[in-house]
Amino acid sequence: MAGNVIEITDKNFEGEVLSSEKPVLVDFWAEWCGPCRMLAPTIEELAAEYSGKAKVGKLDTDNNRDTAVKFGISAIPTVMVFKDGEVTKKFVGLTTKKELKAALDTAL
């Protein structure tokens, strides 16, 4: 993962996301997914901009199927914003940086 982006897995999901004191943006993605790769620079920019205020992470759905199934991920990219262990916003498909920022700002 680049810069401030956290790698989220089935093993660390609870600690990094559900138990986090800060809001967390999670990008559910896969290596083979073209739109996911297109979204990656936006995710990295958000991670840098929200450093210290919120967590930004990526979960590879191919390698972490349990979490993807638990949250009903049927299409990628899917981006979810969590606050206090709850999903506050969910985006399916390519999403603009403006929309993602608005969701994070609301969660802060």
Domain ranges of the chain: 6-107
Topology of domain 6-107, per CATH? Answer: Glutaredoxin (3.40.30)
pLDDT-derived band of residue 1, with 50, 70 and 90 as boundaries? low
Supply the pLDDT for residue 2: 60
Q: Which residues are catalytic?
A: 33, 36
Average confidence (pLDDT) over 29-39 = 97
As a whole number, mean pLDDT of residues 4-33 equals: 97
Cα separation, 54 vs 66, whole angstroms:
24
Query: How many angstroms separate the CA atoms of 62 and 79, rounded?
Result: 16
pLDDT above 90: residue 86: yes
Asked whether 47 and 56 are in contact (CB, 8 A), the reply is yes
The values of phi and psi at residue 86, to 5°, are -115, 145
Q: Is the pLDDT of residue 3 over 90?
A: no
The mean predicted confidence, pLDDT, of the chain is 96
